Amino acid sequence: MENNSLLYQVIAKAQRWLDGNYNEETKAEIRHMMESEDKTELIESFYRDLEFGTGGLRGIMGAGTNRMNIYTVGAATQGLSNYLNAQFPDAPQISVVIGYDCRNNSRLFAEMSANIFSANGIKVYLFEDLRPTPEVSFAIRHYGCQSGIILTASHNPKEYNGYKAYWDDGAQMIAPHDENVISEVAKIKNVDDIKFEGNPALIQIIGEETDKIYIEKVKSISLSPESIQRNSNIKIVYTPIHGTGIKLIPWALKEYGFTNVIDVPEQNVISGNFPTVISPNPEEPAALEMAVKKAIETNADIVMASDPDADRLGIAVKNDKGEWILVNGNQTCLIFVYYLVRRWKELGKLTGNEYVVKTIVTTEIIKEIADRNKVECYDCFTGFKWIAAVMRENEGIKQYIGGGEESYGFLPETFVRDKDAVSSCTLMSEIVAWAKDNGKTMFELLQDIYIEYGFGKEKGISVVRKGKSGAEEIVQMMSDFRTNPPKEIAGSKVKVIKDYKLMRQTNVLTGDVSQLEMPATSDVLQYFTQDGTKISVRPSGTEPKIKFYIEVRGEMKSRADYYAADAAANIKVEAVRASLGV
């Protein structure tokens, strides 16, 4: 009965689209779904409205209220336009930047959004062709815009597209603007509320002139130009995985002075179908397989890969056995922070007023590096908008060195306010040259960081619970962890519990309770044990799963201790899993 009721509701919604002012292509797709014996696709397309969330839109492309199409994207742009006009009534000219990636329909959605903004009296700086997400963030700041969007679904599969919205600082929106824009988008109930007829006079095409300024800014962050000069011919294998990185990253590497960038021709092909990979995600080993193969053939020094919108960076290095290994997001972030802090110190740039930022689930070794070098370390929630919020808060007061998260995103500069694979690729290549100057491979550099600051191993585990009962089970699991927290984990006593939903930190050993200082609440629990283990638990906001982030610590006195430390850490990770029942 429940399914019949849902189907009736879905058919009624679909019929409204058939009766409404929608184009014939959309109506033909809807008719096809309605006439099909299997109504699954129809239900999936209309059973709910695609939500404009705090990060914008993301969904599968197609006709329907729960799909990415010109109407759902149009409603998002109209709602954002309405908010901008209400928020800046006295501005001489409100303006926005629009960028897009390689995905199918990204250009269509971008041009349509430009028309809608301009129809609402808003000036548009529209990129002539696909560009990386970080350059859109840069352009918002450079052109003094009030907002901006990029059409991208990051590293999601090819069926998806997305719409990310930014504020005037070039960062993704946080309170109050995110909730206010969501409210405005929700008010667009009818396709006739969307102003599709653009004003060409308000649309300015931008391209290479902006690229050049951005690349010059990227060049300015170099800390070891002499190392690059001495090692300009290091072999760098780079792949954009069919995405926007191909536009700027090889150019930026060349401008930095690197002369031996080796491409993966099959993956230089710009395509929203991502023909050589199942998923264009540099976190996944399969996405780097072709690049690693090329590295083996050419005896390269490093492999680098950016995701389709070129904000995430994945790398692979050769270990002491000659095997190519993937460096995880925590290790990548660790290498960046270590290098930046060390070079700032060596160059006499540390004054005691500097800071780094990491997310609460990212390795604690970063805090060790910061503390020992008298650099402040901020912890923030997962998502780069929170790193950008710390930067905004400290602008003109403290000096940002770098910030990143375990999910392969890093930002080593301040002229962008989102993770940036363009500047990260150039800086990572500089680190390779600097390490070589110091007689080290990248693997040896990572080992030496562990020797100096302690060994760490991270493991992410997702427990999937589908359906209504699964969602209820996840809620119950979080409740159980909150009301009956573990007293010990893998044989080590829990000493501190942080509850970001209740904004409370409890010292289990003393009973002291203090308030956590964060800009918002989040359903995250953390346990810190006496042996240095950190466990973070949170339900996913987008998928039917509960996530566990495990970090265990160890000791390395020499490079020879690496494999023993790694093996011991693996044993400890399994013991932690057993303690948590996952």
Residue 291 structure tokens: 């690049």
User: Is residue 2 pLDDT above 70, yes or no?
Assistant: no
Question: Do 148 and 96 meet the contact criterion of CB atoms below 8 Å apart?
Answer: yes
Q: Which string of b and e fits 523-542 if b means at least 16 CB within 10 Å? A: ebbbbbbeebbbbbbbbeee
What pLDDT sits at residue 465?
86
The pLDDT tens digits of the residues spanning 407-456 come to 999 999 999 999 999 999 999 999 999 999 999 999 999 999 999 999 99
What pLDDT sits at residue 360?
97
User: Is residue 3 pLDDT above 80, yes or no?
Assistant: no
Give the residue carrying structure tokens 């050769």: 318
Going by the DSSP 8-state scheme, the letter that residue 561 receives in this structure is: G
Q: What is the mean pLDDT of residues 185-205?
A: 96
User: Is residue 531 pLDDT above 70, yes or no?
Assistant: yes
Q: What share of the chain is helix, strand, coil (3-state, %, to 5)?
A: 45, 20, 35
Domains of the chain: 1-47 (no CATH), 68-206 (3.40.120.10), 213-318 (3.40.120.10), 330-453 (3.40.120.10), 457-580 (3.30.310)
Q: What is the mean pLDDT of residues 106-121?
A: 98
Lowest-confidence range among 48-57, 226-235, 381-390? 48-57
**DSSP of 76-140:** HHHHHHHHHHHH-TT-S--EEEEEE-SSTTHHHHHHHHHHHHHHTT-EEEEESS---HHHHHHHH
Lowest-confidence range among 6-20, 483-497, 532-546, 555-569? 532-546
Give the whole-angstrom CA distance, residue 536 versus residue 454: 20
Residue 582 structure tokens: 């996952």
Contacts of residue 290, Cβ cutoff 8 Å, sequence gap at least 6: 239, 264, 266, 267, 276
Contacts of residue 485, Cβ cutoff 8 Å, sequence gap at least 6: 494, 497, 525, 527
Partners of 399 in the β-ladder: 354
Give the whole-angstrom CA distance, residue 306 versus residue 304: 7
Residue 152 structure tokens: 């991208």
User: Is residue 467 pLDDT above 80, yes or no?
Assistant: no
Going by the DSSP 8-state scheme, the letter that residue 509 receives in this structure is: T
Percent of the chain clearing pLDDT 90 (strictly above): 93
Going by the DSSP 8-state scheme, the letter that residue 451 receives in this structure is: H
The pLDDT tens digits of the residues spanning 434-447 come to 999 999 999 999 99
Give pTM, 2 decimals: 0.96
User: Is residue 206 pLDDT above 70, yes or no?
Assistant: yes
What pLDDT sits at residue 54?
72
Burial environment of residue 459 by CB neighbours within 10 A (0 to 12, 13 to 18, 19 or more)? middle
Q: What is the mean pLDDT of residues 342-358?
A: 98
Question: Do 252 and 215 meet the contact criterion of CB atoms below 8 Å apart?
Answer: yes
Question: Do 237 and 298 meet the contact criterion of CB atoms below 8 Å apart?
Answer: yes
Residue 240 structure tokens: 């954009």
Catalytically annotated residues = 154
Half-sphere exposure of 86 (CA within 13 A, CB side): 11
Q: What is the mean pLDDT of residues 328-344?
A: 98
Strands of 236-239's sheet in order across: 261-263, 236-239, 302-306, 313-318, 324-327
What pLDDT sits at residue 163?
96
Contacts of residue 230, Cβ cutoff 8 Å, sequence gap at least 6: 433, 437
Q: What is the mean pLDDT of the chain?
A: 96
CA distances from 216 to 210, 219, 440 (A): 10, 5, 29
What pLDDT sits at residue 1?
38
